[in-house]
Structure 1
Amino acid sequence: MINMSKPSIGFCVKLLLVLGVVFGIHITILSYLGLPLFDNYILASYSVNYVLAVAIYITLYKLRIKYLDLLGFAFMGGSFIKFAVYFIFFNSSFKENGNVSFNEAISFLSPYLTCLMIETFYLIKLLNSKDLRG
């Protein structure tokens, strides 16, 4: 089991809550429009983005003491990994019919952008922290 600190647990819980709300809104809009609720790998998109965001945050949190000046680059590397996962696993499935539809794009971008905003907020909070030891 990963030894998680209080800030890491707080991040995980808050991210899960925010993603849950965004997912609920997403599903509600799809239902209102009469579109299939669980097409376009929507559950996988939310799950993968959550797991990657948590992994990136925990990595940044663990690196904060020794490599504080490199956290921004580590964060960008994490974003690169997220895009790599998208292009390797999701994009090929989305392009089976020759193009990526709006619904397919939104099913990935909604959780991606939500996680990105929360990660950015927490990275700023981490960088501005007076006590970098945790």
Structure 2
Amino acid sequence: MAFFYQVWSIYTFHIVATLLIYLFLLFVNKNFFDKTGFAFLAGSVIKMMAAVVFLIPLIKADVNDPIIDVTAFFIPYFLFLFFETFFAIRLINNR
């Protein structure tokens, strides 16, 4: 079975997005501690929009079974979202 996206491209997207959100949260937590939760929400919304943009070629393509490809994308998406949430909670609770 061949996926629409290469597995490495899916994980590269998730790793880069998560790393950018981590760095953004660290910056906001250091400079504007009381806005860390809002920064996490903003980063999550931007990541969701980036995921939709990433998946547009899959949506527009004529794929026989897109559910498998979407599942291959969203299982790691929610795993990385869990790590981001855990990190954000630790940042907020440390002060």
- After TM superposition, the score normalised by the length of structure 1 is 0.62
Inter-partner Cα distance in structure 2 for 1:99 and 1:71: 42
Judging changes above 3 Å, is the alpha-carbon distance between structure 1 residues 99 and 84 closer, same or farther for their aligned structure 2 residues? farther
Q: Secondary structure at the match of 2:31?
A: coil
Report what 2:4 is aligned to: 40
Inter-partner Cα distance in structure 2 for 1:65 and 1:58: 11
Higher CA-based Rg: 1
Question: 2:35 matched to 1:70?
Answer: yes
Structure 1: unaligned runs, 5 residues or longer:
1-34
Report what 2:84 is aligned to: 119
Cα RMSD (Å): 1.9
Inter-partner Cα distance in structure 2 for 1:57 and 1:82: 12
What amino acid sits opposite 1:50 in the alignment?
I
Q: How many percent identity over aligned positions?
A: 29
- After TM superposition, the score normalised by the length of structure 2 is 0.83
Aligned residues: 93
Matches within 5 A, 1:76-95: 76-90=41-55, 92-95=56-59
What amino acid sits opposite 1:103 in the alignment?
I
Q: Secondary structure at the match of 1:64?
A: helix
Which digits, 9 at most, give the CA deviation of each residue in 1:63-119, with x for residues without a partner? 1132122111111111112121122232x2112127872111112102210110001
What amino acid sits opposite 1:93 in the alignment?
P
Matches within 5 A, 1:42-57: 42-57=7-22
Judging changes above 3 Å, is the alpha-carbon distance between structure 1 residues 126 and 81 closer, same or farther for their aligned structure 2 residues? same
Inter-partner Cα distance in structure 2 for 1:44 and 1:59: 22
